[in-house]
Amino acid sequence: MKQRIWQVLPVLLLICVAIGFVYQHLPSHFHLSVQYPATRRRDVSWHAHAGLHTEDPAGHRGSARGSRPFSTTCLRNMSMANMAGFSDLPERLQNFLYYQHCKHFPLLLDLPGKCGGPDRSSGVFLLLVIKSQPVNYERREALRQTWAKERQHHGAWIRTLFISGTTGAGLKKLRMNKLMEVEHRKHGDILQWDFDDTFLNLTLKQVLFMEWLDNSCPHVRFLLNGDDDVFAHTDNMVEYLQSLRGNDGSGNLYTGQLIEGRGPVRDPSSKYFVPLQVQQKESYPTHCCGGGFLLSGHTAQVLYNMSKTIALHPIDDLYMGLCLAQAGLKPSHHTGMRAAGHPLIPSAKVDILDPCYYKDLLMVHDFTPLQNYIMWNRIHDHGLKCWKDPRLSS
C-alpha cells in the first residue's frame, strides 16, 4: 500500500503543476472569484444613526476610489439603553445616543488640494463652507453661478466647499453618490463622508469638516459656515473682513445672529427636542444661529481642539456654542447676518426681494435657488438706485 502511494505521488504533483500553469495563462474573466462569508463581505447591520457599514466602497482617504475594502465600524453603545426613560424617547434620539461617541467616518470624496495644500492654505482669504444634502443639486448649481462662485474680490481669493453625507439606502444611495461624484469631478467643490445626512447629524458634519480643515486647509484666513438655502453677499463679507484690525485670521472671530437666554426644547414633538438624557441644564450658552456665521481660521482651530473632548449634541449651532464656552470665547452679533430669515420690510406693498434691502447685508437665510439667482444679479446691477438706505431692524 505504501509503495503504491509513493508511486502515485509524483503523478499527482505533475497534475497540480499543470493545472496551475494553465490557470495562470487563462484570460482574467475565467479566473475563479473567492466568495467570502456574508459577514465578512458586508456587515448587514447598518449603523442606525450614521449609516456606517464595514465595507468602504469609496476606498482610502484622499480620493473618490481606492483599494481598501473595509473601514472601521463604530459600534452602538448599548449601555445607553439602561438610561432612565430611554425607551420613551423618539427613535431618532435613541439612535443619536447609541452612536453619540462616533466621530470618525470614511471620506468618500476628498479635495486635499483645495487650498493649494496645507502649507499654502493661507492664500485662501474666505472659504465658503456650505452644508448640503446630496439631493439638493439645484441649490448647489444656483450658488455656483452666484455668490459661491470661486473668484477674487479686492485681491482676496474666495473658495467654495459643499459638505455632505449620504442619503437613502440601496439603489437610491448609489444614485445620489454617483451624482456627487459627477459634481466632484466637474466642479471640484464636494466633500462627502459616509454617514447618514440628517438633521441630528449636522453636528457630526461640522466636526468631520473641522478635522478635514485641520489636515488640508489649516491656515485659511476666514470661513463662512452656512446652509445651502441662504443668500450671502460674499463681496460685502470680504470687504468687512478686510476692514478688521486683525484681518489675517490669526485672532478670534465668531460672528453672526446671536441666540441668547435660550434653553433646551423639551417638547418631544419638536424638531429641536432635547431630552434630559442629552442635556440636564436648562440653559444654553450664547451662540450664533446655525444658518450662517463667520469665523476666523484661528477660531476654527480652537473649536476643533475643543470638539475632541466635548460629546456631540443634536443641535449643531448649540454645539459650536458649547465649544466656544469651553475655550473661554464669546460669539459676537453682526446686524448684517440675518440667519433667522428675511429682513423686516416696512410695508406689504414693498417687494420682499427689493435689492435695496439686501445690498448692504452680509447674509440672509431662507432663499430658493431662483431667489438667489435673481438677488445676486439685481444687487450687481450698475443701474440700481436706492434713494435712501432702508431702515433695517437689528
**What would the pLDDT profile of 211-235 be if each residue is shown by its tens digit?**
999 999 999 999 999 999 999 999 9
**Section 104-117 average pLDDT:** 97
Q: How far apart are CA 163 and CA 132, in angstroms?
A: 6
Radius of gyration of the chain (CA): 26
- Provide the whole-model pTM: 0.81
**Section 190-204 average pLDDT:** 97
Domain boundaries, the chain: 107-338
Residue with cell 427689493: 354
Q: How far apart are CA 384 and CA 111, in angstroms?
A: 38
**In CATH, what number does 107-338 get?**
3.90.550
74-104 pLDDT, tens digit per residue, is 899 999 999 999 999 999 999 999 999 999 9
Q: What is the DSSP letter of 265?
A: B
pLDDT at 28 over 50: no
Mean pLDDT in the chain?
A: 85
State whether residue 108 is helix, strand or coil: strand
Q: What is the pLDDT of residue 343?
A: 75
Beta bridge partners of 70: 55
Q: What is the pLDDT of residue 19?
A: 45
| 322 vs 15 pLDDT, higher one | 322
pLDDT at 169 over 60: yes
Q: What is the pLDDT of residue 31?
A: 36
